[in-house]
Amino acid sequence: MRALIQRVSDASVTVDGRVTGKIGPGLLVLVCAMQGDDVQAAEKLAARVAKLRIFRDENDKMNRSLLDTGGAALVVSQFTLAADTRSGNRPGFSTAAAPEQGERLYLHFAQSLRSMGIAVETGEFGADMQVALTNSGPVTIWMDTADRA
């Protein structure tokens, strides 16, 4: 699975004029399931995101995690993280998981964060969403479960 993680002061996602998720300080996590991903990949990614030390400590060092700070997570599905831009001008998305599997893993990822005691809000899978955020820092991190054993 792939994720683009942004440390935020606040973030929200809106679908058809209706706010489906809104958080204060925490992480905006754009997530994409890839072909071959399974629930273990979703759980592995959730654990890495929850423990990622990108929040400031008392010495102003990025040394605290979402678990340490008690912050929230706004989890938004984004299949475009699977974009293949190696040839031509139009990205290909054939490496993304099929929609049914993608939705299942997206929801499992969000539930895995919740099971660690993190407050989680979500977007709406497959919808045209408007995401608003205030990136704190700015801090933006890319993760891919295929990058680590």
Residue 43 CA to residue 111 CA, distance in Å, equals: 9
Which residue stretches of 52-98 are H helix? 66-69
Catalytic site includes residue 40:
no
Which one from 78, 109, 122, 145 is the annotated catalytic residue? 78
Annotated catalytic, 80?
Answer: yes
Alpha carbons 50 and 117: distance in angstroms, whole number: 10
Catalytic residue among 35, 80, 130, 134: 80
What tokens were used for 66? Answer: 């979402």
Active site residue 122: no
User: Considering only CA atoms, which of 73, 75, 81 is closest in space to residue 119?
Assistant: 73
Catalytic residue among 14, 55, 79, 109: 79
> Please, what's the b/e burial string for 110-121 (b: 16 or more CB within 10 A of its CB; e: otherwise)?
bbbbeeeebebb
- Give catalytic residues, as residue numbers: 78-80
